[in-house]
A and B are shown apart, each in its own frame.
Chain A
Amino acid sequence: METLFNALPGAVAQGLIWGIMAIGVYITYKVLDIADLTVDGTMCTGGAVCIVMLMKGHDIWFCMLCAVAAGMLAGFVTGILYTWMGIPPILAGILTQLSLWSVNLKILGKSNQAVSVDKYDLLVSLRNVKNVPLHKNTILIVAIFCVVIIALLYWFFGTELGCSLRATGCNPSMSRAQGINTKRNIVLGLMISNGLVCLSSALLVQYQGFVDINMGRGAIVIGLAAVIIGNVIFEKIFRNFALKLLSVAIGSVIYYIVLQAVIAMGIDTDLLKILSAAVVAIFLAVPYWKQKYFMKPVKRAGKEGQNA
């Protein structure tokens, strides 16, 4: 129990960092209605770009900005594969993800790279989750990141362009009939999403103090888990778009706390990925089962005439 309690601040920090990634997944999965697998690649790209540039002596903020740009470029590639080359979105994501493996290796020059918080001026680190001054506290810094990102996205999706992006995901043929360039919007959405994933990745490598070529593997599942957990728990109370994004970040924190609890219970950590996948599979199946087995037949005729 005590190990779990000690691990809690770390789980919260890690959960919030992955929360940014999950918000990116939310944009593709929920807003655009695309399961974008590019994220498994970009979840490493951001960190790779960030660390390599940091070691070249650039300012940490500039490094993170470049990481975001790299993610947007990757999203752009997936978008082009989908909209311009007509490749189904899941496959388009897989293709980009696979190419990013090579790209990431080329950026890093090897399969992993450590970066010490003593040597470099990192924004966040797992050493700074407790017993540090408030302005250096990683949980606080990452939480501020989350809040700023949610605020920016809330503003953006309320603009004309943002509204047209939501419409694109909801009903593409209606969107085109209203003069919306759905292809451009899909590319834009994928760019924003992967930009966020890379930002999360850049924070994560600083937090854990290293980047590893494998760190993105299964990222989409963690992202989806966070989206689903947040959705299931807060669906009834969070209606507003900003609150929905917040619920995704909280969902991610819950995921990492549960993960720590499971580890503290002494489970074989080799089994963690299959457990995550099973949880996501079941939660994805619930709405389908609900509709198939528990829906009451709807009476339509007659009623409609009165309403309309």
Chain B
Amino acid sequence: MLEVKEIYKTFNPGTVNEKTALDGLSLKLEEGDFVTVIGGNGAGKSTLLNALAGTWFVDEGQIIIDGTDVTKMPEHKRAKFLGRVFQDPMMGTAATMGIDENLALAARRGKSRGLRGGISRKERDEYRELLATLGLGLEDRLTSKVGLLSGGQRQAVTLLMATLQKPRLLLLDEHTAALDPKTAAKVLETTNQIVNASRLTTLMITHNMKDAIANGNRLIMMNKGKVILDIKGEEKKNLHVSDLLQKFEQVSGSELVNDRMMLS
């Protein structure tokens, strides 16, 4: 499904700020895998997702999605394979456009955009039904500007946009981190519904170890630009937060010190 072969990425090479964010990382995802990704600050989690999304090209290595080598494919072309939800609720939607218009933009991901109407009446009806499944009352605010929605509502809409056209790979970059706990739980629940309903192959970064354990069928831990731990199936089901901390120490030789992770 997804094959990442020894990718490297160094930011600001040759300067004092040089940082190797991805250090020969390899990863293979099977169809339908729901993988949660954890790791300390600067472990390269977001860098990995950005590398997959094509925000920039990797220095070395290869990225293959569903048999297509996308290593040198620009971001907007790669988008046809991917659904993305960002950490910042402002990032995933166009604030000055309506909810319906945002969804219509997402529905045309990977298709050529011509001089046909940007949104049809039939689409609006579909979107209304789809929004109703979120249970946020957004179906009555179809033409409202997205900028008027709360952070949680915007993330829920972004999630719909990311999955409106079934993506080969869904990338979630700490998409609940900027929300209050109650909203975060609701968005995560919606995420599970959508992922399970269409059996989406998913990579979800989270800083919350409980969430990482409770969701998905596989968990990977990153440190210094590498995958240092990969836990699947039964083993993952029986995992506890204390196990994770211990394993991290074993593998990396240092403590997983991260205030944000400890507090949540």
CA distance A194 to B180 in the complex (A): 46
A175 — which chain B residues lie within 8 A by C-beta?
Answer: 76, 94, 105
Is there an interface contact between B76 and A180, defined as CB atoms closer than 8 Å?
yes
Q: A159-B114, A166-B94, A174-B94 are in contact. Are A182 and B152 (CB under 8 A)?
A: no
Cβ contacts B85-97/A at 8 Å (1 or 0 each)? 0100011111111
B97 — which chain A residues lie within 8 A by C-beta?
Answer: 163, 166-167, 170
B181 — which chain A residues lie within 8 A by C-beta?
Answer: 305
Number of interface residues of A (CB under 8 A): 29
Is there an interface contact between A308 and B136, defined as CB atoms closer than 8 Å?
yes
A166 — which chain B residues lie within 8 A by C-beta?
Answer: 94, 96-97
B161 — which chain A residues lie within 8 A by C-beta?
Answer: 178
- Does A111 sit within 8 A of B, measured CB to CB? no
Partner of A163, one of B79, B118, B151: B118
Which of A162, A179, A302 has most B Cβ within 10 Å? A179
Number of interface residues of B (CB under 8 A): 46
**In the complex, which residues 147-175 of chain A have their Cβ closer than 8 Å to any Cβ of chain B?**
156, 158-164, 166-167, 170-171, 173-175
CA distance A163 to B86 in the complex (A): 22
Is there an interface contact between A160 and B113, defined as CB atoms closer than 8 Å?
yes
CA distance A98 to B152 in the complex (A): 48
CA distance A175 to B117 in the complex (A): 18
Is there an interface contact between B113 and A164, defined as CB atoms closer than 8 Å?
yes
Is there an interface contact between A174 and B75, defined as CB atoms closer than 8 Å?
no
Dominant secondary structure of chain A at its interface with chain B:
helix
**In the complex, which residues 149-197 of chain B have their Cβ closer than 8 Å to any Cβ of chain A?**
150-153, 156, 161, 179-183, 186-187
B88 to chain A, nearest CB (A): 10
- Does A106 sit within 8 A of B, measured CB to CB? no
Chain B residue nearest to A164 in the complex (CB): B113
A301 — which chain B residues lie within 8 A by C-beta?
Answer: 180
Is there an interface contact between B117 and A158, defined as CB atoms closer than 8 Å?
yes
- Does A181 sit within 8 A of B, measured CB to CB? yes
Is there an interface contact between B115 and A161, defined as CB atoms closer than 8 Å?
yes
Is there an interface contact between B115 and A163, defined as CB atoms closer than 8 Å?
no
B85 to chain A, nearest CB (A): 9
CA distance A305 to B180 in the complex (A): 7
CA distance A178 to B93 in the complex (A): 10
Chain B residue nearest to A183 in the complex (CB): B76
- Does A177 sit within 8 A of B, measured CB to CB? yes
B113 to chain A, nearest CB (A): 4
Is there an interface contact between A177 and B80, defined as CB atoms closer than 8 Å?
no
- Does A6 sit within 8 A of B, measured CB to CB? no
Q: A159-B115, A301-B180, A308-B136 are in contact. Are A174 and B91 (CB under 8 A)?
A: yes
Chain A residue nearest to B108 in the complex (CB): A160
Q: A167-B97, A173-B91 are in contact. Are A308 and B77 (CB under 8 A)?
A: no
Cβ contacts A246-284/B at 8 Å (1 or 0 each)? 000000000000000000000000000000000000000
Is there an interface contact between B153 and A307, defined as CB atoms closer than 8 Å?
yes
Cβ contacts B110-145/A at 8 Å (1 or 0 each)? 110111111100000000000000001000000000
Is there an interface contact between B151 and A161, defined as CB atoms closer than 8 Å?
no
Chain B residue nearest to A31 in the complex (CB): B96
- Does A304 sit within 8 A of B, measured CB to CB? yes
Partner of A162, one of B84, B91, B95, B118: B118
- Does A127 sit within 8 A of B, measured CB to CB? no
Chain A residue nearest to B113 in the complex (CB): A160
Partner of B180, one of A167, A181, A304: A304
Q: A170-B94, A177-B53 are in contact. Are A159 and B152 (CB under 8 A)?
A: no
CA distance A164 to B53 in the complex (A): 19
Q: A167-B94, A170-B96, A174-B93 are in contact. Are A179 and B76 (CB under 8 A)?
A: yes
A307 — which chain B residues lie within 8 A by C-beta?
Answer: 136, 150, 152-153
Is there an interface contact between A179 and B109, defined as CB atoms closer than 8 Å?
yes
Q: A158-B118, A163-B101 are in contact. Are A180 and B113 (CB under 8 A)?
A: yes
Is there an interface contact between A177 and B92, defined as CB atoms closer than 8 Å?
yes
- Does A176 sit within 8 A of B, measured CB to CB? yes
A303 to chain B, nearest CB (A): 8
Chain A residue nearest to B115 in the complex (CB): A159
- Does B29 sit within 8 A of A, measured CB to CB? no
Partner of B84, one of A167, A177, A308: A177
A176 — which chain B residues lie within 8 A by C-beta?
Answer: 75-76, 79
- Does B227 sit within 8 A of A, measured CB to CB? no
Chain A residue nearest to B161 in the complex (CB): A178
B115 to chain A, nearest CB (A): 5
Partner of A308, one of B82, B92, B93, B186: B186
A-B contact pairs, 10 of them (CB 8 A): A158-B118, A160-B113, A160-B117, A163-B118, A170-B94, A177-B53, A178-B108, A179-B77, A305-B181, A308-B183
Known A164-B105, A308-B153; further 18 A-B contacts with Cβ < 8 A: A159-B113, A160-B118, A163-B118, A167-B94, A173-B91, A175-B94, A177-B84, A177-B92, A178-B108, A179-B76, A179-B111, A181-B76, A301-B180, A304-B150, A304-B152, A304-B183, A308-B152, A308-B182
Pairs of residues from A and B, 5 with the lowest C-beta to C-beta distance, nearest first: A308-B152, A179-B79, A163-B118, A160-B113, A170-B94
Contacts from A to B (Cβ < 8 Å)? 156, 158-164, 166-167, 170-171, 173-182, 301-305, 307-308
